[in-house]
Chain A
Amino acid sequence: MMLKLGVFELTDCGGCALNILFLYEKLFDLLEFYEIKEFHMASSFKEHDTLDIAIVTGSVSTQRDLDLLHYARNHSNYLIALGTCATHGDVQASVEGKIRDKLEKVYGTKANPMKALDSTPIVQHVAVDYAMPGCPYDKDEIYQVLMNLAKGIEPPTKDYPLCVECKLNEYECVLVKRGIPCLGPITLGGCNAICVKSQLGCIGCRGPIPKEANPASEFEILKELGYDEEYLRRKFKTFARGELRW
C-alpha cells in the first residue's frame, strides 16, 4: 500500500523543501512507497486528504503559517518537523524585538495587515513525531527516515556532538589548533562536520545537543581566546533562540 505524503512549507528560505528534490534518483526510489498529495514547490497537484506522513518545514511567522501547521497536524498520522526553522526557529527567530517594532523598522509602519507573528519553531505549537534539524539538514538522513517509516520502523534520532564526526574524518580541530570559534562541542552532529571540512568553524546550524550540551564551558573557552561576550552571545543564539543557557 502506498503511503500518502504531504510537504508543507511555512516561512523559510525554501531550502528544506528543495533539499528533498536534491535527492535526485533517490527521490524516485521513495516514490515506490509514497504518493505525494501536496508539495507546492514541486507540483501543481493537490488533494485534500488524510495523510500518513506530513513533512513541515519553516517557522511559524504569520497567522497563515499557524493555520497551515494546524491543518497539517490535524490531517496527518505522523508529522516530521524538518530543518532548523521547524525544530529551533533558525535565524529569523533570533532577531530580537517585538513584531510590531520590527515591522516599523522594515516597513515604516507598526500596522500589521498581513498578520505577521514573532517567529517560533513549530515544535512550540504542535506535537511532532520526529524532529530533524539542520540548516539545511543532511538529505540522506531524510531519505533514511522516510525509508524506515515505509518499512514500519521508527527511525532513530542522532544524539552525539559534531566533534564525533570531526574526529571520524580526522579533521584538525580548528578550535584548539587555530582558535577559530567553532560550536562543534555543543552542536548536534549529523552533517558530517562539513563546515570544518572547509577549515571553518561549525556555526551551530543543527542546534544544541539535547540535554548534554555544556554551553557555559564553551562560552568560557571562547572568552579566554579573546572573543567579545556580545559577539559570542549572538553567535550562540543564531540558530537556537532560547535553547542555550550559559
Chain B
Amino acid sequence: MNIEIEAFTRVEGNGGAEILIENGEVKDVKVKIFEGPRFFELLTLGRHYWDVPDLEARICAICYLSHSVASVLGIERALGVNVPEEITLLRELGLLGELIESHALHLYLLVAPDLFGYADAIRMASKHGEVVKEGITIKAFGNYIRELLGGREIHGINIKPGGFGRYPTIEELEQIESQCEALLRPARRVVNIFAEQEPLGATVQHYIATNEYLYGDKLIAEDGEKFDYLEHIEEKTLPYSFAKQSRYKGNIFMVGALPRVMLKHDMLTPMAKHFYEEHKEKLASGYVSFNNLAQAIELLYALEKAKEVAKTLLDKGIEGENVPIEPQEGEGIGYVEAPRGVLVHHYRIDEKGNIAYSNIITPTAFNHGIMELSLYEEARKRYGSSDETTFLQKLEETVRAFDPCISCSVHIVRL
C-alpha cells in the first residue's frame, strides 16, 4: 500500500511524495520532483557571458537575484575580474533584500497559516490581519531593495559582470536605512511566533554553507574545512525525479538558514545574535523544522545588516563605475547563499567570452536527500498513531520547513 501526497502546496513549483507502506510499516519515502526540466546549462552554452546572468535569473523567481549574483561571481572569477568594495557591498545589499523578501514570504504567508490553523494567509487574515499585514509590509520592503539593485522585483537585469547598469542614489539608500530601523520591531515578534514550532523531520548531522555569511569563495562544513564543491559533493540521478541528489563525503546533509546560523552565528548582528543565544539549544537539536526559527532570526539579521551596509555606502559615497572586462579563457565558481541555501554556479569561458561549460546546483537539489529522510522519519513516527489528515498535514509541514523551491531544483547537470 502506498500513500501519495499528490502535490505539495504553499511551496514554489511542482512536487509531491510517495510513502511506501509494507506490513503496516513505513518502508520508504520518495520525494518526486515533477516540475519539468528546463535545461538551463544547455541554454547558457555558447552564450556571451554578458547575457548569462539575465538568463540564469529566470531559474527562480523567489531568489532570482541570488542566481544573478552567483552567475556574476562565477563569470568574474573565470575572467580574473576584481571589483571594488562598493560593488561588493551593493551586491550584498541586494542579497539582503532578497533574504528579507523571501523569508517574509515564507514565514508569514506560507508557514504561519500552519501555526494558526488555516489553509492560507488570505483566510488567516480575517482573524490575524495584523500579522499578515506586517508580513506583507516586510516582504514589500525586501522587494523594494531587489528592484533598486536588481532592476525589477522579479528577473531584473541590473546586476552585471563588473558592476551594475544603474547605481542607486543617495536618497534611495537613505530610504533603505530608515525603513530597516522601522521594521525591526515587527520582525522581532515573528521570532517569538516561530520559537513555538514543534520539532519535525530528521535531525541534521551535516551542515554545509558558504564561508562568508551570504556568499563566499569556498564552502564550509561543521568541521571547519574549506573546500570546493567538486572535492566532497557528489550527485546522482534518480528515476522518479527531475532533481538529482547530492551527498557530502557520502552523507546526507542540509543547506539553508539552519546550517547558516549554526555554522556562522559569530557573524550575526547584535539583535539576531541575542535571539540565537536565546534559542541555541533548540536550534542545536537539529530538527529540520527549526529551519523556520533560523529564518526568523535571519530576517532580523538581514534588516540590521542592510541598515549597516546602507550606512557604510552613504558614508563612503557612490562612485558608480563598472570594472572594464576583456574576454579571455578561464574557469570560475560562484558561491552564494540563496535564501534557502547554498547555490553554486560554475562556468568555463572561451577566448571569445562565450560559455563553454556550465554547472548549476541549487539549494533544493542539495536538500533533496535530507528532505526524503525527514519525511521518512516523520512518517515512521506518525503512521498508525495519527489520523490521516494530521498525518498528511505534518508531512507537508515537514517539507515546507525547508522552504523548498522546486522550480529551481530541476536543472542541475554535469556535462
Query: What is A's interface to B at a CB cutoff of 8 Å?
Result: 9-19, 21-22, 24-25, 27-28, 31, 36, 39-46, 59, 61-62, 64-65, 90-92, 94-95, 97, 102-103, 105-109, 111, 113-114, 116-117, 119, 135-136, 139, 194-195, 197-200, 203, 205, 230-231, 234-235, 238
Most buried by B among A10, A40, A117: A40
Q: Tell me if B303 is interfacial: C-beta within 8 Å of chain A.
A: no
What 3 pairs across the A-B complex have the smallest Cβ distances?
A: A15-B61, A61-B36, A11-B36
- On whether the beta carbons of A200 and B14 are closer than 8 Å, the reply is no
Could you jot down 18 A-B contacts, CB within 8 Å? A9-B13, A10-B36, A18-B61, A18-B62, A39-B120, A41-B11, A41-B12, A42-B122, A44-B396, A91-B38, A91-B58, A95-B43, A106-B413, A114-B240, A116-B37, A136-B155, A231-B48, A238-B55
Across the interface, A45 reaches (CB within 8 A) one of B34, B37, B119, B239, namely B119
**Complex Cα–Cα for A152 and B136 (A):** 30
Q: Tell me if B10 is interfacial: C-beta within 8 Å of chain A.
A: yes
Q: B404-415 CB contact bits vs A (8 Å, 1 = yes)?
A: 010110010101
Q: Which residues of B contact A28 (CB under 8 A)?
A: 122, 125
Chain A-chain B contacts (Cβ-Cβ < 8 Å), number: 182
Q: Which residues of A contact B119 (CB under 8 A)?
A: 43-45
Q: Tell me if B280 is interfacial: C-beta within 8 Å of chain A.
A: no
Q: Which residues of B contact A17 (CB under 8 A)?
A: 12
Q: Tell me if B217 is interfacial: C-beta within 8 Å of chain A.
A: no
Q: B20-59 CB contact bits vs A (8 Å, 1 = yes)?
A: 0000000000000011111111110011100100110011
Q: Which residues of A contact B120 (CB under 8 A)?
A: 39, 42-45
Q: Which residues of A contact B51 (CB under 8 A)?
A: 203, 235
Q: Report if A64-B166 is in contact (Cβ < 8 Å); known contacts: A14-B61, A92-B43, A105-B42.
A: no
Shortest CB-to-CB span from B94 to chain A, Å, is 13
Q: Tell me if B105 is interfacial: C-beta within 8 Å of chain A.
A: yes
- On whether the beta carbons of A116 and B242 are closer than 8 Å, the reply is yes
Q: Which residues of A contact B11 (CB under 8 A)?
A: 41
Q: Which residues of B contact A64 (CB under 8 A)?
A: 14, 34, 36
**Complex Cα–Cα for A102 and B36 (A):** 12
Q: Which of B146-154, B264-272, B342-350 contacts A (4 or more CB under 8 A)?
A: B146-154
Q: Tell me if B89 is interfacial: C-beta within 8 Å of chain A.
A: no
Shortest CB-to-CB span from B196 to chain A, Å, is 20
Shortest CB-to-CB span from A177 to chain B, Å, is 15
**Complex Cα–Cα for A9 and B254 (A):** 27
Across the interface, A102 reaches (CB within 8 A) one of B8, B39, B151, namely B39
- On whether the beta carbons of B58 and A90 are closer than 8 Å, the reply is yes
**Complex Cα–Cα for A98 and B120 (A):** 40
Q: A21-B109, A116-B37, A198-B151 are known contacts; what are 16 more A-B pairs with Cβ within 8 Å?
A: A12-B407, A13-B58, A13-B59, A14-B62, A14-B407, A15-B64, A17-B12, A43-B123, A45-B119, A45-B120, A107-B237, A113-B239, A117-B36, A139-B153, A194-B151, A234-B46
- On whether the beta carbons of B10 and A44 are closer than 8 Å, the reply is yes
- On whether the beta carbons of B43 and A116 are closer than 8 Å, the reply is no
Shortest CB-to-CB span from B220 to chain A, Å, is 28
- On whether the beta carbons of B43 and A114 are closer than 8 Å, the reply is no
**Complex Cα–Cα for A12 and B14 (A):** 10
- On whether the beta carbons of B152 and A194 are closer than 8 Å, the reply is yes
Across the interface, B415 reaches (CB within 8 A) one of A91, A105, A136, namely A105
